Amino acid sequence: MIKQLDTYLDTLPEETPGHVHLSRLRKDASRCANYSLYGTNQADRDITYFASVMCGNKTCFVCNFARQKRVRRKYFKWFAENSTVLEIKKGKGRKVITKSRLEAYEAKGYTYVCDHSYDIMHLTLTVPHYSNGFNGDQFYFQKLADMFHDMRNECPQWSELIYGGEYGIETTRNENGLHIHIHSLLFVRQTTQNRNRVHKMILGEWNRRTINLDSKRSELSLTAKDGLKRSNKLIDDEFVNRIDPRGTTMINLETIYSYKDGIKQRTTEFNSKEMLYAIMESIKYHFEPLAFDKQEKTFDLDLMAEVGPVIYRKQLYKKFGCLHGEKALNLKEEDILQEDFEDSAALIDEETGEIIPEYEFFVCSPAYIYHSPEDENKLVLSRNAKKKMQKIQAFSVSQAVGRLGEMVQAVYNKKQLQTSKN
């Protein structure tokens, strides 16, 4: 990517937003994980990798891979401990929250009512768009988020059927320009035909909110009408006739399922492999790299230059309803070091009673360390690694990680001081 950026940046005027954004990306990606923490085991002298200081750029592959691991760990742990959500009340008001927030609400005068089980569903929402975007807006990220927000707050049925969830906005490019769409994870009340009820509600609401005035379509074809009725047993001719052909006429809502003998079957086992896989499919926007074609393994640098400056530092995913304020599912770049390891038990010298560090810790760039395929891919230090490595005095991994953070902060402060003097 960096090699392609070096060539591509020469084609862009330096003052353009695209050049500024891609120059930042090149700088970030080239320094990402340069400071990485390793440890040599005192017993067998094997080398273990623990953590790295990441650049935090959402287009950086190293950061996306680390973010993916953190997302999986956070959500797998959270769902294992939260098979239900809680209903609470205060006077006539009622809310649905997660277990971790009960104490805070009790302090505000709320009382516990009951637990609710839920079904998890994956929702995908699009809007009719053309080469000029959606109603003339090529970068309709905010409009998309606003429409989804309004639907959740203005539709009376929403709170009756959906406890909460989260969503993210993803961008690709097709023949009609930018394809900006929503992926959402929904916690749905367990009722009869809940998938069909939610699907019908959202389709009707989303259709009337997403009318594109540039659309030339004046009516739905018989094939489109039949497709709508086949997608949901609750959809009848009366509902189909209310659908505006200029708005979204198709949404995707899937409950968790598995295949048995080639046939889809609903998965009811909480925290099953099928459930966790569906969850990861729904929240993959947390760590999907921008403008990368996985099949072709190519970068769309034009798309990076066009969209990157628009979405820079903008929050493209949010939690809502019962997940709003659920800190256990937050993604903070500063948490990355503290979450990618576990401390082992301390060793004690039986004669002196002194603590013996299990590892000799050091910091080094991964560029100087390689794997040995002949020896179970064990980490091996190159000559440059032995010369450039910086040892860290620490008794535990967590302490070593803290020292790594201090080291990087000192380097950063030094550079800032030199910049200010210049």
Q: What are the pLDDT tens digits along the chain (422 aa)?
A: 888 999 999 999 999 999 999 999 999 998 898 899 999 998 889 999 988 888 888 778 888 888 777 877 888 889 888 989 999 999 989 999 999 999 999 999 999 999 999 988 989 999 999 888 999 999 999 999 999 999 999 999 999 999 999 998 888 877 777 889 999 999 999 999 999 999 999 999 999 999 999 999 999 999 999 999 999 999 999 999 999 999 999 999 988 655 455 555 555 567 677 777 767 777 776 677 677 777 777 888 988 898 888 888 888 889 999 999 898 888 664 444 444 455 554 555 556 556 667 889 999 999 999 999 998 899 999 999 999 999 998 888 888 888 888 888 887 777 766 766 66
Which amino acid would we find at residue 103? E
Distance from first CA to last CA of the chain, Å, rounded?
32
CA pair distance 151, 76, nearest whole angstrom = 29
Helices 301-311/2-9 angle, 10° precision: 90
Does the CA dihedral 147-182-241-255 come out positive or negative? negative
Q: Is 18 exposed, middle or buried (0-12, 13-18, 19+ CB in 10 A)?
A: buried
Q: Is 225 exposed, middle or buried (0-12, 13-18, 19+ CB in 10 A)?
A: middle
pTM of the entire predicted model: 0.81
Domain ranges of the chain: 1-30, 32-54+342-421, 82-212+247-335
